[in-house]
Amino acid sequence: MATKIPTAQKRMFQNVFVCKDCSKKIRTQVVRIILKKVKCPRCNGRAFRPIRKK
């Protein structure tokens, strides 16, 4: 079943994104990624992907 992962851990991973340019991990809300309100502190890039996506 899909209930192996605790809800808190699932939520934690869902809120973590990785910069496509420098692989810096950022914790933020999904909405802010969609609205492009998040800038990478290292390279100022705005391209992020979810951490679990290969």
CB of 8 to Zn ion, least distance (A): 27
Return all residues near 21 (Cβ < 8 A) that are at least 6 apart. 40, 43, 45, 47
Chain residues that interact with Zn ion, rule: CB under 5 A: 19, 21-22, 24, 40, 42-43, 45
Our CB check for Zn ion shows the closer of 49 and 52 to be 49
Quickly list DSSP for 16-32. Answer: EEEETTT--EEE--HHH
CB of 40 to Zn ion, least distance (A): 3
Our CB check for Zn ion shows the closer of 10 and 20 to be 20
**3-class secondary structure, 9:** helix
